[in-house]
């Protein structure tokens, strides 16, 4: 049987082989660069070494929310009611009105994650999921 099309398994094997070859080429190039750099440092001791610069954090100084647990719970309940009445756009509008630190504090308060590892977007996504869970539970009670 003469097939003009390559079988999927053959294509996967070919791509996997190409990846292995590329990986070997990259490793060889990296080894060559390291050898050249060691020789350069040996020949010129005052050659400046390349220092890795640490990544810049977007939020270097975390600002702590001024809201207490009761206020955050009230905000969450408002989010649930806004979302029930106006849908996802109402949720987005309400969450957009909050400060970054309040969104992160709210996410932490409702058990999404710790405050020091959350960005605003991740916190808002977690809050959205928790609001949807609450709405689902309320719907099941009816």
Eight-state DSSP code of residue 45: T
Residues 37 and 78 in one domain: no
Residues 44 and 73 in one domain: no
Residues 31 and 77 in one domain: no
Task: Tell me how many domains the chain contains.
Answer: 2
Residues 75 and 131 in one domain: yes
Q: Model confidence at 62, in pLDDT bands (50, 70, 90)?
A: low
Query: Which domain, by its residues, includes 45?
Result: 7-50
- Tens of pLDDT, residue by residue over 70-88, are 898 999 999 999 888 888 8
- Tens of pLDDT, residue by residue over 16-36, are 999 999 999 999 999 999 999
Rounded CA separation 68/3 (Å): 69
Residues 113 and 76 in one domain: yes
Residues 82 and 137 in one domain: yes
CB of 72 closer than 8 Å to CB of 98: no
Residue 63 falls within a domain, yes or no? no
Residue 76 falls within a domain, yes or no? yes
Neighbours of 134 (CB within 10 A): 17
């Amino acid at each position: 049987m003469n097939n003009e099309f390559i079988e999927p398994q053959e294509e996967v094997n070919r791509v996997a082989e190409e990846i292995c070859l590329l990986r070997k080429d990259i490793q060889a190039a990296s080894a060559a660069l390291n050898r050249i750099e060691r020789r350069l440092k040996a020949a010129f001791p005052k050659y400046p070494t390349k220092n890795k610069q640490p990544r810049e954090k977007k939020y270097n100084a975390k600002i702590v929310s001024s809201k207490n647990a009761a206020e955050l719970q009230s905000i969450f309940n408002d989010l649930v009611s806004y979302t029930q009445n106006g849908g996802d756009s109402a949720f987005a509008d309400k969450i957009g009105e909050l400060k970054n630190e309040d969104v992160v504090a709210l996410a932490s308060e409702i058990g999404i994650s710790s405050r020091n590892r959350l960005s605003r977007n991740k916190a808002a996504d977690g809050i959205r999921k928790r609001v949807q869970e609450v709405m689902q539970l309320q719907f099941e009670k009816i």
